[in-house]
Structure 1
Amino acid sequence: MAEKSRWCSVWIGSETGILKGVNVAKKQAFNFSDFSTLTREQEVSAMCWGDDLESEVLVGCVNGTVKTFSVEKGKFTEFRDCSGGEGPFRGLAVHNSSLITCVESGVLKVWKEGCPDTVEVNVGRDVYKMRQSTSEGHKVAIGGKENDLKIWDLQRPEEPVFKAKNVANDWLDLRVPVWIRDLQFLPESDKVVTCTAYHQVRLYDPSLPQRRPVLETSFEEYPLTALSLTSDANSVVVGNTQGQVAVIDLRQGRLLRCLKGFAGSVRALQCHRSLPLVASCGLDRFLRIHNLEDKHLLHKVYLKSRLNCLLLTSRENIQEQEEKVQESQEEVKDDDIWAAMPTVTDEVSTKGK
């Protein structure tokens, strides 16, 4: 399994608790879980990379266990009990060898390596997402149902460093409900983009005096469930419960394009760090990879289970590397076939000489 895992470019967690690796070029998927020990409580609810080299995948299960999968070895190497609070994991992160977890009930913990004591922060109930800052690993943002955006500095966890203010009342002078479903920090910035169950996309800038969003737009009329920033951070890709996926410009708040081919609620999206690609998965059991420039569906792989979350490798030559491996394997296979065949010589007729 180690050889298979090294060439997987997408890692996916399913409702059945299975960690799946996908070789995109071959359109092959591999299961890296022991089926004999799987239970419903091992449903994968959160995932993150264990290190900057992407050699480990951390898998958070509903039962409070965080499992470490080694990409090099092709197997799980560590099982850690990180239970505390109620509900599934809403986010995992790693900072300076410490594991950061957050569950739905609002209990955020920092598990320091080799230390039995943990830092515990109450970030508010009904959390739907926790994400780590890409530039400052000690900062995280959280949001949920009636739990508006907050940014926490885990080096000073007494109070949030930023607390968003709800938008103004609507045209009927009624309070606008809050329900953040996903969020992400902009690279090298404290700015945060969010999407809501009320089909809104909002951009916040903590460096400004105002605590309300500096940009707000909406997409269709169905709850948004996932988002991911494009590689240039000028646009955001969002998906909703109807399988509609769109690219929205964060500078002007306008719809740029829609991606097609979906048949169910989108659970997870991730754009490639440097290429115009986005990977997505959800309830229709398919992994899809689209080109964001021409909207073309590049890859579509059926994975049998309902899918919750995914990780896309940051390698820039994903398809080239996988195709080279495929070609080399085919060449070896052909050489073995030819070597096993008997030698045939032509008989020269001497009749008539």
Structure 2
Amino acid sequence: MAARRCHVWLGAESGILKGVDLRRKRAINFTDFNRGQEISEIAWKDREEREVLLGCVNGTVKVFSTEKENVTEFRDCSGGEGPLRGLCVYNSSLVTCTESGLLKVWNEGSTDHVEVGRAVCRMRQDTTRPERVATGGKENALKVWDLERLQEPVFTAKNVRNDWLDLRVPVWVRDMQFIPASDKIVTCTGHCQVRVYDPSTPQRRPVLEVTYDEYPLTALSLTPDANSVVVGNTRGQMAVLDLRKGRLLKCLKGQAGSIRSVQCHPTLPLVASCGLDRFLRVHSTETKMLQHKVYLKSRLNCVLFTSRGNWEEEDAECTALEGVKEEEGDEIWDSMATVTDRTESKRNMDQQEDPKRRKRRKQTSTDPGV
């Protein structure tokens, strides 16, 4: 099962779902080329990671089975305008959000929906409390919604104070993530800021703000300990920022184009990133070294890490299987008869022939009267 060996899944502009086996540095296309169904969102449908949700720009949601290795379900989730900016599952119901701001919960036979504001850049679900999602975008402040009660947001962030020229600071939320074991939310903006909000306090402005470089930030992901966040920008730069002290820890180098998606492994100190340069890269968040680099031929929109952490055991198992196959192959080769070249075989026969007989055969072949 090639799909079960994949450690990273990616969605491309070409509409292809790609799976990557990092141990073998092997990439496999699991769906066909379809430019009209560009994959803009990707997420796990179940905790066992047997099915992958694929959100396409035309509003179609596909379900890919990692066991059957094909698309098992199509669903038309069109509505609103623009591509999907968020996709998740709550109580066996799909939850989608479009760029125009239409947030929908697709229950059986009915749908609940709410307008969350225009120019949405991202919708994210709280993994510890799946009934909560966060939204934000350009001139669309961070909001937290309860999927059980969609009438009003649970939390709405307040813009920061005016700058030193007493001018209003523009709002541009590009990505966000809930910090586990707390009510806090970390966001990144198109104006280079990383901000932390705490809805449990009366303060609606950020409780922490860090500025990284001078290019718009596009994606973020929390490290497994939730003390740091990895961010990427339109310049292809990535960095690990400390959320406790608000400082830069390290830079992750190697990218050559705008970063579209970043995801940290749930348990291992690894972070995967992809973007316009068509490469999947996996860095170590501890040593900042590039661990894996795989060329995937298409411009990439989104990346999804598997939660499996027993890679060493998988490597040992795969190595053992390969050793068994090699031994079986050696036995087969040893049991096969040796086939020699006809010219070489004839030369060997000539050498073994009696010299007098060889001389007599040559005279007979050159005699013109024969």
Q: After TM superposition, is the score higher than 0.5?
A: yes
Supply the RMSD in Å over aligned alpha carbons.
1.3
**Structure 2 residue runs without a partner (length 5+):** 338-370
Q: Which residue does 1:8 correspond to in 2?
A: 6
4+ runs deviating over 6 angstroms: none
Find the structure with the greater CA-based Rg: 2
Deviations, residues 206-237 of structure 1 (Å, cap 9, x unaligned): 00001000000100000000000000000000
How far off its partner does 1:332 sit? 1.0
Q: Distance in 1 between matches of 2:258 and 2:15?
A: 19
Q: Is the 8 A contact 1:192 1:205 kept in 2?
A: yes
Q: Which residue does 1:347 correspond to in 2?
A: none
3-state SS in 1 of match to 2:314? helix
Q: Which residue does 1:127 correspond to in 2?
A: 120
1:141-180 counterparts in 2 under 5 A? 141-180=134-173
1:78 to 73, 81, 85: 73
Q: Which residue does 1:54 correspond to in 2?
A: 49
Q: Distance in 1 between matches of 2:312 and 2:261?
A: 22
1:29 to 24, 27, 30: 27
How far off its partner does 1:116 sit? 1.8
Q: Which residue does 1:97 correspond to in 2?
A: 92
Give TM-score scaled by structure 2 length.
0.89
Quick check: 1:331 aligned with 2:324?
A: yes
How far off its partner does 1:325 sit? 1.9
1:308 to 298, 301, 305: 301
Q: Which residue does 1:137 correspond to in 2?
A: 130
Deviations, residues 84-135 of structure 1 (Å, cap 9, x unaligned): 00000001011110110000000000012xx221001110100000000111
**Structure 1 residue runs without a partner (length 5+):** 345-353
Quick check: 1:274 aligned with 2:272?
A: no
How far off its partner does 1:323 sit? 5.2
Q: Distance in 1 between matches of 2:58 and 2:25?
A: 31
Q: Could you tell me the percent identity over the aligned residues?
A: 64
Q: Which amino acid aligns with 2:181?
A: E
How far off its partner does 1:291 sit? 0.8
Quick check: 1:294 aligned with 2:287?
A: yes
3-state SS in 1 of match to 2:325? helix
More helix per residue: 2
How far off its partner does 1:154 sit? 1.1
Q: Is the 8 A contact 1:272 1:314 kept in 2?
A: yes
Q: Which residue does 2:361 correspond to in 1?
A: none
Q: Which amino acid aligns with 2:183?
A: D
3-state SS in 1 of match to 2:335? coil
Q: Which amino acid aligns with 1:102?
A: C
Q: Distance in 2 between matches of 1:323 and 1:289?
A: 21
Q: Which residue does 2:344 correspond to in 1?
A: none
Q: Is the 8 A contact 2:15 2:32 kept in 1?
A: no
Quick check: 1:181 aligned with 2:181?
A: no
